[in-house]
Amino acid sequence: MITPGLSQAAIEELRVQGAPGSTTIELLRALAGQYTRSPRCSFPAPDGMSWSDGEAIDELLGRMFAREHKDYPGESHPFVIICLAKAADASAFERLLLRTIENFLKDEAKGTSRGKVRRRLDETLLKNDERFVNVSNDLWCLTEFEGEIWQGDLEQLEDAAFSVRGVEVLTWNTAGPTSKDSAHAVLTVVQSILRKARGAVRTQDLARLLQARFDLLNDPLEPPPLVERDEESTPDDNPAEGTWAVVHANDLFAALSPKERALVPVLHDPSRWAAATQLGSAEAVALARALKQRLALATHDDEDYGAVLERLLDLCTRVTSSVQDD
């Protein structure tokens, strides 16, 4: 609920100061809270926060102020001034700011992996399949359950997603049409989710559940960087035998294929992937991406991940050098 007169007071403040002050910030916080807590908003709050938390609202406004506008380089508040210039009165100013907040969250979502999955569901996959019905802008259900909205625990729907066996997403292009097999896998899981829900589910939640089910729909995790071996380094620079870092690195090394071992020393340099693996460009990229993901998952919670990767790099460099010498 916006305090009566707050919008007009913010307008007067902006006209006098030429920049947002405490009154304008108060209005922005109220409007951002009003939108993010409304049924229209399906965008998640920052990790570990809720839209009912003032800190989440302040973080959102901070990102909005930080984004530059092409017509106002270096300015930290162009969206406020633009809305003020277009507004005929206080009510119009509120509406313009609300629309700007909504559009900003939409733009952010489009740039995330979940946002991209969400857009593909809305714009092609679900839209072009007669099994699914679009209840509103971002709500989908099966034809037999049209009208009801899911309001239960998403963990139940996650169980439904993982209960589907025999389908996997093996390729997921960032642009262009989705492959037939990938589309089949995604839509089969969505059908299972919606059948369990017995109602409409937000696209944002469907995208989240699909990402949990199919790892390839997420952005690849980046492991700590593997760099080229310093020519002056020696085995004495490595951790002592028997330490956790060495044991972990040895286990990782043993699980790698010969081509993966050849990739490790050049993982920092995509231009060398094909030559190192003696694969075609597409196959080498796929193998390198999978290896990065694997190393990231294997070391993400290790305090000594640097020592682990250093040892692994040393082992793989030795093997690669030995093969080349032969």
* pLDDT exceeds cutoff 90 at 130: yes
pLDDT at residue 243, rounded to an integer = 66
State the pLDDT confidence band at 173, using cuts at 50, 70 and 90.
confident
pLDDT-wise least confident of 50-59, 63-72, 195-204, 246-255: 63-72
pLDDT-wise least confident of 16-25, 63-72, 208-217: 63-72
pLDDT at residue 322, rounded to an integer = 62
pLDDT at residue 230, rounded to an integer = 46
If one compares 286 and 72, the residue with the highest pLDDT of the two is 286
* pLDDT exceeds cutoff 80 at 174: no
pLDDT at residue 229, rounded to an integer = 46
% of the chain surpassing 70 pLDDT:
82
* pLDDT exceeds cutoff 90 at 165: no
State the pLDDT confidence band at 239, using cuts at 50, 70 and 90.
very low
* pLDDT exceeds cutoff 80 at 293: no
E-strand stretches of 46-191: 132-136, 139-142
Rg (CA), the chain: 26
State the pLDDT confidence band at 148, using cuts at 50, 70 and 90.
confident
The answer, as to whether pTM is greater than 0.75, is no
* pLDDT exceeds cutoff 90 at 7: yes
* pLDDT exceeds cutoff 60 at 85: yes
Helical segments of the chain, H only: 6-17, 22-36, 54-66, 78-86, 90-110, 113-120, 154-162, 180-197, 203-213, 244-255, 258-263, 273-277, 281-299, 305-325
* pLDDT exceeds cutoff 80 at 53: yes
For the chain, the residue count is: 326
Bridge partner list, 201? 140
* pLDDT exceeds cutoff 70 at 323: no
- Answer whether 161's CB lies under 8 Å from 192's CB: yes
- Answer whether 266's CB lies under 8 Å from 276's CB: yes
Structural tokens at position 143: 């034809």
Structural tokens at position 92: 């119009």
**The residue to which tokens 């004495």 are assigned:** 236
Structural tokens at position 290: 């999978």
Query: What does the pLDDT look like over 204-238, one tens digit per residue?
Result: 889 889 988 887 776 655 555 554 444 444 444 44
If one compares 245 and 179, the residue with the highest pLDDT of the two is 179
pLDDT at residue 184, rounded to an integer = 94
Q: What is the mean pLDDT of the chain?
A: 81
pLDDT at residue 70, rounded to an integer = 67
If DSSP states are collapsed to H, E and C, what string results for 60-80? HHHHHHHCCECCECCCCCHHH
Dihedral (Cα; 280, 286, 287, 292), 10-degree rounding: 140
* pLDDT exceeds cutoff 80 at 46: no
Strands 201-202 and 139-142: antiparallel
In angstroms, the CA 81 to CA 94 distance is: 13
Strands 132-136 and 201-202: unpaired
